[in-house]
Structure 1
Amino acid sequence: MKQLISRRSFLKAAGVTTAVAAVSLGAPAASACYPGSFKDITILYTNDVHTYIDKKSPELTYAAIAALKKSYQDAGKNVLLVDAGDHIQGTAYGSMDEGASIIQLMNAAGYDVATPGNHEFDYGMARAKEVMAEADFPYLSSNWVNLPLGNRVLPDVKYFTIGGRVIAFVGITTPETFTKSTPAYFMDKSQSRYIYDILGGDDGQKLYKAVQKSIDKAKVLADYVIGLGHLGVDPSSSPWTSKEVIEHTSGFDAFIDGHSHTKMECEWVKDLSGKAVALTQTGSYFANVGEMTIKADGSIATRLISSYEGSDSAVADIQNAWVASVDDMLGEKIAVADTNFYISDPETGKRRIRMAETNLGDFVADGIYSYFNEVEQLHCDIAIMNGGGIRADEKAGYWTFKTCKQVSPFGNVACLMSVTGKQIQDALEFAARFAGTEKENGGFLHVAGASYEIHADIPNTVQTDEKNVWIGSATGTPRVQNVKIYNKASGTYEPLDEGKTYALAGMNYTLRNLGDGFAMFDGAELIKDYVSEDYLVMSTYAMTFGGVDAEGLPHLTTANSPLADYPGYLLDYENPYGAGRISIL
């Protein structure tokens, strides 16, 4: 005779106490408790903090968040604190110890649950797993799976019994993680096969099915099911946006989102059954903390809080000590910028670095180009730099090592490879596949020692797989045309020869680790690797400028660049839109 699991054993195995059963099983929840036993439940939430921890009161910090949560608790309120991803990477405060101090701060602040964002993987798969193990709170993901084992890497659901009800969070990670982090981290050591997947699918169905399965699991025990996702609402993330997940599933009551850095107090999105689901996101960089209230009558309300006067002293001590330590390590002045350097469009304020040329994009690429040609004394024909790896505008004034670390925080290292002109053409074509639209692309390529045109009216025909990794050249007329490579000997830009071999410099992220999906360099000959970390390459370039002042600091101007000695080299740092190396027609 078949042995059936008892109801008590089932609940124990599911990680929920017997007391929860009275609320969630059998009769509807409203009849499972005594009248008036329900209380308001507050959920505080953050997303895309990106290690911006050096703010001062009343601006938000982890110390302020901790104090805010405690104020609710002291008032006898039921409160949870959650995060929707991208919290260990972004500034030097994250990269200098690969997120360890950020996790320490989140532990001290009292976070209850989180979901990993794509940037939680930026320090490698091993470190990502270590970070999640160091957290006192669980990480959730319904769609990050181990392919050989055929199971999830993390739990998909976390239950909380609070305010007389059971709240379940379902974690969701963006499938864009593959190309917005480093695809090689999800592969075996030979980079011949994927051993991890973040379920998405070309049409989104793999993602929707994984999420629906977790919702159905959560609803067995929970009164409210809340999505905790790092998906975003940017059209470029389609079909994997939070709105599309809500629209293709049923059962969420609310969805706390991240990834697109959108300030969204609340938008009601109808799910597959027609029920309205509250979708919310705080923006980014601690601009706001969200407050979601599940009221005693069952209604849901949200608001965004932009400042808080309180501060938890214990959390503040950790925060201040780490900020001071990093500032001390990286605070040495190395140069003076006489102009603003931009990743954004100064006229609109909109981020430009991922879709068009800027002076900072030129500067960072020039730094790589100059490093190999001037410091390493190796021949380098062209350098490329992905726009997603250039992270911050920098105002005129003093530059420190920290300045460069803020711009290039990932810890990638520069390398030099021997590639064909065809591989360069393929890379530029792949990088330009969204140019001329409003769609951002972290893989948009800034160049040094080269120039090229993008004909935006020509349809993109680059071949990619479902993870947006390059698998073949454009099948139609190329969008990228008139590619030219600088010849120092003649002081001219000469047409790219697809059959010729060139020395190409860039970061290992792009050239060796399939970052942003650049797979066309597979098998290329390595000339030199691991020469210097990204921010040090940039720092070195800044320190080689002329125009040294009475403080012994060089001034960052076009005329003072060491590349100004290269005849005919395209250089114009005073123009926010760059030197005209990339023309979008």
Structure 2
Amino acid sequence: MKQLISRRSFLKAAGVTTAVAAVSLGAPAASACYPGSFKDITILYTNDVHTYIDKKSPELTYAAIAALKKSYQDAGKNVLLVDAGDHIQGTAYGSMDEGASIIQLMNAAGYDVATPGNHEFDYGMARAKEVMAEADFPYLSSNWVNLPLGNRVLPDVKYFTIGGRVIAFVGITTPETFTKSTPAYFMDKSQSRYIYDILGGDDGQKLYKAVQKSIDKAKVLADYVIGLGHLGVDPSSSPWTSKEVIEHTSGFDAFIDGHSHTKMECEWVKDLSGKAVALTQTGSYFANVGEMTIKADGSIATRLISSYEGSDSAVADIQNAWVASVDDMLGEKIAVADTNFYISDPETGKRRIRMAETNLGDFVADGIYSYFNEVEQLHCDIAIMNGGGIRADEKAGYWTFKTCKQVSPFGNVACLMSVTGKQIQDALEFAARFAGTEKENGGFLHVAGASYEIHADIPNTVQTDEKNVWIGSATGTPRVQNVKIYNKASGTYEPLDESKTYALAGMNYTLRNLGDGFAMFDGAELIKDYVSEDYLVMSTYAMTFGGVDAEGLPHLTTANSPLADYPGYLLDYENPYGAGRISIL
């Protein structure tokens, strides 16, 4: 008994939270931590929700998950609710107030702890920190550090005493955040040096060591240590995947993951000591909520729940009011699409936008190109758009401002820069470094006013640093060849001249903020910046189409595009795979 009291005092001094289940009338009170008195512990978990809150019962929403948690509590069960990142960005419901309403919903739903995903940084570093301060629950990260000292920005471990045990969560943030968010956000104002690091390392060792240090710390007090990571299992994320972290550390009992949008009820992965660790992930967009049970006998089981009929009325009221407000703000019809526009391959359903041309990739790039040439009346030779910035398939039918916000939700703004042909070649080569493989790349470039070939059989020799930021041209034979720039005067596509200067348009994310690692534009001359937000550029393009019907709505077809008047311009929106601007050989 003395040992028990001593341990409790130690836990309290260490800041360990005691989570007591809400007990319904007549249920037994929570028992003390005597041998044999352990109770089942339930951990509900979400990941990659990406602000998809406009769903109806029985589909999952924050209101449903709040009710699910409360139902466990009312039954006298011990329950925690956690999130593995990417919850404030993805649709207009996140971007219209930079995540404020999403955090309000998560607070009301009763989240206990979360880890930041890469998209928690999409509104800038200052806003990321504000979001984490607005949350009633703590954010954890063992590998996000301040420079040059290397001290952590966030706590790395959160403890809960629940069901007679101590559970510790260790937070982990993907090092891909640098390039999948905006590297400039992690630098000083002059963008001359990093003031934050998310430890990773070319071989993953910096990440593994940081995580192991936090595991060792957690195990001093905890009976169970659970990873709460935004890492994913995609090969493109290697050596920073959750599986690799488990395999190169020892001490995790389970790992709740995110980032790769993988539906994984449970996969047992052996750690460095040979112990099997339960790895799980729910998918994305509230397709499932995970339920992990640490049973009284110490075993761990997981399952995925795809629907729930219950709904917490208070959370639902917040949710419905915000959805209605955004829908009202962005609901005006602006065009009619006579064809489907794709980010995915209509035959396989796989996301294609990050590895090859699609008609929506062409459309978004054309919108930027047209905006500078037709609206701003500035000369623009070529426009580029990163595939990771194009987020949703859109079916034929009415388009609204909200439609465009769903496709382009990031709030980036368009800019125009004077660059050399060599910089264009470097950008295309860097963007194509994974083409021809199954590896997705958010930096894959869709183009307007240009065409190019990718020779996938030629090895990639682009030089990058450990954060996958470009640091030098290809050292071998270029994979990208036969780059051509459209000349309106002649109606032809002419070979790129690396010594010539071109007017290049795109989003500041790519051209100015090192987004996806595009650093080759450093020193380029800015012609015009901050002309319009991404979804408004797209909306403007849609509204300039011809074929106006009785409702006064333009029809989005190839023939109705203002660019159809450009002689010889490559244009084919009816083809899901685009107009043939990008050839992968």
The answer, yes or no, to whether TM exceeds 0.5 is yes
Asked whether the 8 Å contact 1:144–1:173 carries over to 2, the reply is yes
Give the direction of change, closer, same or farther, for the CA distance of 1:18–1:567 in structure 2 (3 Å limit).
Answer: closer
Cα distance, 1:33 vs structure 2:
4.0
Task: Give the equivalent residue in structure 2 for 1:50.
Answer: 50
Asked whether the 8 Å contact 2:386–2:445 carries over to 1, the reply is yes
Q: Distance in 2 between matches of 1:33 and 1:108?
A: 30
Asked whether the 8 Å contact 2:186–2:196 carries over to 1, the reply is yes
Q: Distance in 1 between matches of 2:170 and 2:23?
A: 19
Give the direction of change, closer, same or farther, for the CA distance of 1:30–1:266 in structure 2 (3 Å limit).
Answer: farther
SS of the counterpart of 2:4? coil
Cα distance, 1:413 vs structure 2:
0.1
Cα distance, 1:256 vs structure 2:
0.2
Q: Establish whether residue 99 from structure 1 lines up as the match of residue 99 from structure 2.
A: yes
Asked whether the 8 Å contact 2:142–2:211 carries over to 1, the reply is yes
Q: Distance in 1 between matches of 2:18 and 2:218?
A: 16
SS of the counterpart of 1:303? strand
SS of the counterpart of 1:22? coil
Task: Give the equivalent residue in structure 2 for 1:360.
Answer: 360
Cα distance, 1:149 vs structure 2:
3.7
Give the direction of change, closer, same or farther, for the CA distance of 1:2–1:296 in structure 2 (3 Å limit).
Answer: closer
Cα distance, 1:16 vs structure 2:
2.9
Task: Give the equivalent residue in structure 2 for 1:551.
Answer: 551
Q: Deviations over 1:121-175 (max 9, x none)?
A: 0000000000000000000000000013421000000000000000000000000
Asked whether the 8 Å contact 1:24–1:221 carries over to 2, the reply is no
Asked whether the 8 Å contact 1:335–1:399 carries over to 2, the reply is yes
Give the direction of change, closer, same or farther, for the CA distance of 1:400–1:8 in structure 2 (3 Å limit).
Answer: closer
The 10-residue stretch of structure 1 (3-12 or 426-435) with the greater mean CA deviation from structure 2: 3-12
Give the direction of change, closer, same or farther, for the CA distance of 1:450–1:197 in structure 2 (3 Å limit).
Answer: same
Aligned length in residues? 585
Q: Distance in 2 between matches of 1:222 and 1:24?
A: 28
Give the direction of change, closer, same or farther, for the CA distance of 1:136–1:490 in structure 2 (3 Å limit).
Answer: same
The 10-residue stretch of structure 1 (11-20 or 568-577) with the greater mean CA deviation from structure 2: 11-20
Q: Distance in 1 between matches of 2:70 and 2:236?
A: 38
Cα distance, 1:14 vs structure 2:
1.9
Give the direction of change, closer, same or farther, for the CA distance of 1:525–1:577 in structure 2 (3 Å limit).
Answer: same
Cα distance, 1:23 vs structure 2:
22
Asked whether the 8 Å contact 2:24–2:75 carries over to 1, the reply is no
Task: Give the equivalent residue in structure 2 for 1:146.
Answer: 146
Listed as ranges, the gaps of 5+ residues in structure 2 are none
Asked whether the 8 Å contact 2:87–2:102 carries over to 1, the reply is yes
Task: Give the equivalent residue in structure 2 for 1:540.
Answer: 540
Q: Distance in 2 between matches of 1:8 and 1:110?
A: 25
Pairwise CA RMSD: 4.1
Task: Give the equivalent residue in structure 1 for 2:120.
Answer: 120
Q: Distance in 2 between matches of 1:363 and 1:370?
A: 10
Q: Deviations over 1:186-215 (max 9, x none)?
A: 000000000000000000000000000000
Task: Give the equivalent residue in structure 2 for 1:228.
Answer: 228
SS of the counterpart of 1:3? helix
Q: Deviations over 1:391-429 (max 9, x none)?
A: 000000000000000000000000000000000000000
Asked whether the 8 Å contact 1:358–1:576 carries over to 2, the reply is yes
Q: Distance in 2 between matches of 1:548 and 1:256?
A: 50
Give the direction of change, closer, same or farther, for the CA distance of 1:3–1:549 in structure 2 (3 Å limit).
Answer: closer
SS of the counterpart of 1:322? helix
Give the direction of change, closer, same or farther, for the CA distance of 1:159–1:130 in structure 2 (3 Å limit).
Answer: same
Cα distance, 1:5 vs structure 2:
17
Give the direction of change, closer, same or farther, for the CA distance of 1:28–1:324 in structure 2 (3 Å limit).
Answer: closer
Q: When the two structures are superposed, what TM-score results if normalisation uses the length of structure 1?
A: 0.96
Cα distance, 1:38 vs structure 2:
0.3
Give the direction of change, closer, same or farther, for the CA distance of 1:85–1:484 in structure 2 (3 Å limit).
Answer: same
Asked whether the 8 Å contact 2:24–2:76 carries over to 1, the reply is no
Q: Deviations over 1:452-484 (max 9, x none)?
A: 000000000000000000000000000000000
Q: Distance in 1 between matches of 2:581 and 2:251?
A: 50
Q: Distance in 1 between matches of 2:349 and 2:334?
A: 28
- Alignment of structure 1 residues 409-488 onto 2, 5 Å: 409-488=409-488
SS of the counterpart of 1:268? strand
Q: Distance in 1 between matches of 2:508 and 2:193?
A: 19
Cα distance, 1:8 vs structure 2:
8.3
Q: Distance in 1 between matches of 2:60 and 2:178?
A: 31
Q: Distance in 2 between matches of 1:469 and 1:178?
A: 9
**Identity level (%):** 100
Cα distance, 1:293 vs structure 2:
0.3
SS of the counterpart of 2:5? coil
Asked whether the 8 Å contact 2:23–2:73 carries over to 1, the reply is no
